[in-house]
Structure 1
C-alpha cells in the first residue's frame, strides 16, 4: 500500500504546531507496518538549508490558477526511510513564517492544485491521499470535481483529518471562484458555499472518502452545536465515515532516559526525576525545595487553553503550598497575567515568555504536575509528553484530554492524572487542591506515577487504526 500525506508542515522539515508532529511521526509508524508512506509539503524559506541540500529536483511544470500560470518545482529526498516531496514556488513560499499572509488563500489553493498535478510525476502512484487541515482540504474536492475524469487521478481514495475545526480557511466567494477558475456550479451548499463565503475545510469534509479527527471524544464533540463551529450538521450527516483516532508522540524523541536537555536521565524513578526538579528550580530562580510540588505549564497563552479560568483563581492557587513554572507566549492579557504574578510572587511562580524547546523539556521533567485546563482540545500532545516524563496532568475532560487522562481513584488505585468536567474556575481550583493533597501522600503518588509509566504513548496502536481505515478504502 502506498500512502501520500499532503500537509502544510511536517517534522523534521518545518513545524509550528502539533500537525507537524503527526505528519512526521505517523508515516514512520506506518512504515513499520509495511506501508510505503510519503509526505508532500511546500518548500518554505523556514526549512533549514541542511535539509534542502538533500533534495533533488524531480521535474518542473506549470500550475493553472484561474487566469494565472505559475511555475512549480517538485523536489524529492528520502529522510529516515520516508519520501519527502517539496512543492517549490518562491513567490508563494519564500517568506518568513508559514501562515498569516493576506494571500494565504491563493498560496494554499496553488499548493492543492500542485499536489494533484504532482501525481503525474511520482515514481509510485499513491493508493490514498491523506490530507490534513484546511490548507489541503481542497485536494479531495479537486479530485472529485476538476480531475474526476483524469486517468492519473482515477481510483485514488482520500482521507481528510481535522486537527482543529476552528480553523477552516474561509474566504470570499469571488476570490475562491477566481482562484479555482470555476463557475457557480461549485458554489453550492453541498460543496464550497458557507454562509455566503467559500469554506476550504467544508469542501474536504464533503468530498473526502473518509474523515478522521485526532481523538474519539473530539469526533463526538464536533457533531454538537457547541463544538461544531457551524459544521456540526455536515459532520452528523457524515458520521458513518468519521473516526476519532488519538494521536501518539514520538517516544524516541521524547524520552527522559535519553534527553540531552535534562540534568539527570530517568525512566521510572521519581528520585532521579527530583534531581531535574531542583535543577529547574535553580534555573528559574525558585527556592530549591525537593518536597514542594511544582506545577508546570508549557503552552500557547490563548483562551482555548483555559487561561481565563486560571485568571479567576490564580491568586488563590498561588496561596497553595506549590510552585509554578510557566513557558509560553500568546495573547497579551495572559502574558501580562503571568508576568504580574511572577513580579508579585517570585518565590511561587517563574515565567518565561516565548518558546524554548530545551526549557520545555526541563519543565516536563522537573514538574510534578502539569496543567491543561483547556476549553477544547482536539487531542493535545503536551499531556502525553508530560505523562512520558512522569509529570501528572491536571486537565479538563474535553477532546483528547478526556481520552488520555483518567482521574485518580483512591479506592481502586486507577488513574494517571486529575480531571474536572465543567468549564468552571472553582472546579479547576478544587482539582488543583485535590492533586496537591495526593502529592502529599507518597504511597498514592507512587501509584499514580506507576500508572502513568505503564501506558504506551507512542504511535503503534494509532497507526494500526489508520491502517485498518486505509485497508477498508483500498478493498472497496
Structure 2
C-alpha cells in the first residue's frame, strides 16, 4: 500500500498555538513532517483562551452543530486555520475551554470526553474520512472506545483505525466509576471486562491502551520499560497484555526552527564548520549570568522542570562536591518549591559559580543551549526527552542517565574509538553521576578531543523527518492488518 494517507492528529495542545509540555512540540512538528512527505494530515485541538489572539483572529469559522454528552446538550464550533501547510481545527466551546487552566479543572473528565466526541462528529460534518485517527495521551484516551461503541456502526466511520501515543504514562486521567455513564455513556460491560477500570476507577489512559488498534510511545527503550513494575505506573500489566501492538518511535525536533546558523534568539550564529560563534555565545551568556568570562571553565547547564522525575535529588545531594570542581553551573526552570528554594540557596552560597534562573524563559533557554559546554539531564525516567536533542543541535554535550529516550539518543563517548555523542551513567546514583561529570570536565580540558566531540554532537540527526518515516510505515502496517 503506497497511496496517500488521510490522518487526523488529535492532541490537547500543539505549538505554536498552546504549550505546557513536550506533547505540544510533537503535535506541532510531527504532522508538518508527515505532510511534507505527501500525506493529508490534519491537526485538531481544543480552542483554549490561552491560544494567542493572532491565531484565533486568522481562523475561519467552518461550521457549528450540537452534540449530546450524557444528558448534556452541547454546542460545538469548528474553526480552521492553515499553519505551515497543515490544516488545524479548533474545537470551540467556551464553557469547557475558556478556563484559566488547561488541565487542572474539576470537570476535566467532561472537558476531554466532550472533546473526543466533538472530534468524531466533526469528521462527518467536514466530510474528512480519515484512514487513521492518531490520539495522544489521556486527554484523548476516550476517543477509540467512543469510535468503536458509538460510531463504527455507521459506514462513514466503519474502516477508521486508531493509533494511541503515550507521551508520559504517569498522567492517566483517573476518575470515579460514575464517569462511565455520566460523561462517556458507556455500558457496564466495559467496567466488568476491565477495559476502562484500574484500581476501581475509570482510567482514560487505560481505555486508550485497550481500545486503540496500535499503541506507540516516544522511544524504543521506554516501550520496553513501561512493561515493568518500575516504570509501568501501575499499568505495566496492560502494556504487557498489549505488547504485540506496542511500538516505540523516538521523537524528533525541528531542525529548521532550531538551527544555530540562523537562530535569531541566540547571541551569535555558528555552524559545525565555523564554531567561533559558539564561543561568543558562551562569553555573552557568562556576562549576562554575572559569571566570570572564562573560556577555560566548562559551563554546565540544567534546563528542566524542577521536579523529582528529572533527577534533581541526585544533583542536590552532591552539589557541594560538584562546586569543588573548576566549573560554572547555570540553571533554568520552575517546579517544586523545594527545588526552587534549594537552587536559589545554593546560588547564594556560590555566587561566582552558579546562576539560578527560577523562571520559564524560552529565549533564555536557547541562549543557554548555545552558550553552555555541557548539558546535564540525570532523569529518574524519561519517555523521550527533547532537551538532550536541543543540546546536541547546539553543541552542548549531554550527560544523561541511561533511561528511556535518553538511552536511545545519547551514546557514551569512547576515547579509544572516538565514537559517541555524550556521556552516560546507568544507575540512579549521585556518585555515579558525579564521576561521569568529572570525566566530562577532564575531557573538556583536552581541546582537540572536545572540539571533535562538539562537532559529532552537532552532526547527530534527530529531525522529525526520521520519526515521520517510522510513523508512516506504522500507519501502512495498520491499514494492511
1:274 and 2:270 correspond = no
Query: Cα deviation per residue 1:268-304 (whole Å; 9 max; x = unaligned)?
Result: 2343201100100110111111121000111100000
Segment of structure 1 superposing worse, 7-16 or 386-395: 7-16
TM-aligned CA deviation for residue 454 of structure 1: 2.0
Deviation at 1:174, TM superposition (A): 1.1
| Structure 2 partner of 1:15 | 19
Within 5 Å, give how 1:459-470 maps onto structure 2: 459-470=464-475
Residues 77, 83 of structure 1: 8 Å contact kept: yes
- What SS is found at the alignment partner of 1:350? strand
CA drift of 1:188 comes to 2.7
- Select the residue among 291, 298, 306 that pairs with 2:296: 291
Match of 1:352 among 350, 353, 357: 357
Residue pair 1:58, 1:121 contacting (<8 A) in 2 also: no
Q: CA deviation at 1:120?
A: 1.1
- Please list the CA deviations of residues 232-253 of structure 1 after superposition, one character each: whole Å capped at 9, or x if unmatched: 1111121111110000001111
Q: Supply the RMSD in Å over aligned alpha carbons.
A: 1.1
CA–CA separation in structure 1 for the residues paired with 2:181 and 2:192: 12
Kindly indicate whether residue 109 of structure 2 is the aligned counterpart of residue 105 of structure 1.
Answer: yes
Matched, 1:147 2:151: yes
Q: TM-score with structure 1 length normalisation? A: 0.98
Contact between 1:307 and 1:373, CA under 8 Å: does it hold in 2?
Answer: yes
**For residue 335 of structure 2, what is the aligned residue in structure 1?**
330
Residue in structure 2 matching 1:441, options 443, 446, 453? 446
TM-score (norm 2): 0.97
Measured in 1, the distance between the counterparts of 2:409 and 2:193 equals: 36
State the match for 1:84 in structure 2: 88
Give the deviation of 1:57 after TM superposition: 1.7
Q: 2:51 aligns with which of 36, 47, 50?
A: 47
Residue 186 (structure 1) shift: 2.4
Which of residues 358, 364, 379 is equivalent to 2:369? 364
- More deviation, 143-152/7-16: 143-152
SS of residue in 1 equivalent to 2:192: coil
Of the structure 1 ranges 95-104 and 193-202, higher mean CA displacement relative to structure 2 is found in 95-104
Q: What stretches of structure 2 of length at least 5 have no aligned partner?
A: none
The answer on whether the counterparts of 1:119 and 1:152 sit within 8 Å (CA) in structure 2 is: no
Of 235, 242, 251, the residue aligned with 2:255 is: 251
* Pairing 1:409–2:390 present: no
Q: CA deviation at 1:143?
A: 1.0
Residues 5, 40 of structure 1: 8 Å contact kept = yes
Cα drift, residue 326 of structure 1: 0.5
Q: What residue number does 1:67 align with? A: 71
Residue 159 of structure 1 aligns with which residue? 163
Question: Once the 2 structures are TM-superposed, how far is the Cα of residue 359 of structure 1 from its aligned partner?
Answer: 0.6
Which residue, out of 203, 225, 247, partners 1:199?
203
